[in-house]
Amino acid sequence: MPRGPSLKARQFTESVIREMTREARAHGAVNLAQGFPDFGAPEVLKEAAVAALGAEINQYAITWGAKGFRDAIAGKARRDLGLDVDPETEITVTCGATEAMIASMLALVDPGDEVVIFEPFYENYGPDVVLSGAVPRFVRLRPPDWHFDTEELERAFGPRTRAVVLNTPNNPTGKVFTRAELEAIAALCVKWDTLVFTDEIYEHILYDGAEHVAMATLPGMRERTVTINSLSKTYSVTGWRVGYIVANKMLIDNVTKLNQITFNNVPIFIQDAALKGLELHAKIASSIKAKYKERADLATKKLSAGGFKFTKPDAPFYMFPKRDGLDGEKFTLSLLDKGVAVAPGTSFGDYREHFRISLTAPDDQIVEGLEKICEAVNR
Ligand code: PLP
């Protein structure tokens, strides 16, 4: 008999959210559990991918990514964040934000180091920390507005703190960290000589008035920030597996070493297509943003009428509601039989009362799903 899984693999389970997607299929339920967008990919990306294949662009890219794509990423960082980035030494292309986070942790965190994680958090961050042998230190984001307690954050830092995982705009809450909050985190990172791994995959999906502040742009943070991003959500291409990291040369050199022997690399024709997307970025991003805003406005109305409690998100990709007296986990399971799948709050930490709705299904399915959720509690 084989001896079974490693101690590391024993410490985490398969993604609950993906399991909910399978359950949704098995129950013929509307899937509001997983965040894969229903919109077609932008034409320009598809045409560029086909053209790249036609032009025989088939062979390995340089380990840290095709030059044209890195140039486009540097251009975007300058345009959107005001960051001057050297495309030759300060960017590495990754298989989505997923790889970017685990490669960064494996390359830059040692076993026994502590990593501060704001909770609720995107479910991969837990296994990322386990695989790098580190110890998570959770800091709670507190409903209804998902603020953190500054003293709790201060207590989470110490001499063993190697990194902070930040996700703004945030999955699952839709919170966008304010400049003042980021400055408070930054001050502690400077004090304790700590890195920040910041996952900014939802940076463009914001309500008007909400401002995405990139941690790397704050004083003292450029050299200690690993900025992670991906085309998955903004371009509705979660299956293309294309993302990237921006950081200083020393950090990038080490993440690239990891990438070289593990994921190596995003298919070359996809990189060629992705660069066209970044060139037309502003147009694509603003049309996607408008669609999510409409959906979140609708969900806000329906969920409020259904008696659910939540803070309207600053980033309208997900909602993370609860209802007095309702056990979010049991409710999530019971909804499957009623024809709708959502993600339980426990997938994101100790948030049993909550459940997460993803606003990525087609409009009619979102309406159907929300109606079923409301009917389930109002019978
Ligand atoms: N980071 C966050 C916060 C996410 O919500 C997701 C997907 O839902 C990912 C990363 C995965 O990104 P990618 O598809 O680029 O690997």
Tell me: the pLDDT tens digits for 214-230? 999 999 999 999 999 99
Whether 50 maps to a domain, the answer reads no
> Is 232 touching ligand 1 by the criterion CB < 6 Å?
yes
Distance 26 CA to ligand 1 centre (A): 24
Whether 52 maps to a domain, the answer reads no
Whether 294 maps to a domain, the answer reads yes
pLDDT tens digits for 240-293? 999 999 999 999 999 999 999 998 889 999 999 999 888 888 788 888 889 999
Is the pLDDT at 208 greater than 90? The verdict is no
Same domain, 175 and 241: yes
> Is 172 touching ligand 1 by the criterion CB < 6 Å?
no
Banded pLDDT at 108 (limits 50, 70, 90) = very high
Longest Cα pair distance anywhere in the chain, in angstroms?
60
CA distances from 108 to 113, 132, 373 (A): 10, 9, 43
> Is 35 touching ligand 1 by the criterion CB < 6 Å?
yes
pLDDT at 34: 87
Give the number of the atom of ligand 1 that is nearest the alpha carbon of residue 243. Answer: 15
Q: Which amino acid, residue 233?
A: K
The three-state (H, E, C) secondary structure of 167-186, written as one string: ECCCCCCCCCCCHHHHHHHH
Instruction: Tell me which DSSP letter residue 227 carries.
Output: E
Banded pLDDT at 1 (limits 50, 70, 90) = confident
In the chain, what percentage of residues exceed pLDDT 90? 83
Distance 54 CA to ligand 1 centre (A): 30
Secondary structure class of 358 (helix, strand, coil): strand
Supply the CATH number for residue 81's domain: 3.40.640.10
Range of the domain at 133: 57-281
Same domain, 323 and 210: no
Q: Sign of the C-alpha dihedral, residues 281, 283, 289, 292?
A: negative
- Cα–Cα distance between 247 and 260 in angstroms, integer? 17
Per-residue pLDDT averaged across 134-156, rounded? 96
> Is 238 touching ligand 1 by the criterion CB < 6 Å?
yes
> Is 349 touching ligand 1 by the criterion CB < 6 Å?
no
| Residue 197 exposed, middle or buried by CB count within 10 Å (0-12, 13-18, 19+) | buried
> Is 243 touching ligand 1 by the criterion CB < 6 Å?
yes
Supply the CATH number for residue 33's domain: 3.90.1150.10
Give the number of the atom of ligand 1 that is nearest the alpha carbon of residue 122. Answer: 3
Whether 2 maps to a domain, the answer reads no
Residue predicted with more confidence, 186 or 19: 186
> Is 230 touching ligand 1 by the criterion CB < 6 Å?
yes
- Please name the residue that has the structure tokens 């790249």: 52
The b/e string for 102-112 (b: 16+ C-beta within 10 A; e otherwise) is bbbbbbbbeee
Where among 281, 305, 335 does a domain terminate?
281
pLDDT tens digits for 278-318? 888 878 888 888 999 999 999 999 999 999 999 989 999 99
Distance 165 CA to ligand 1 centre (A): 13
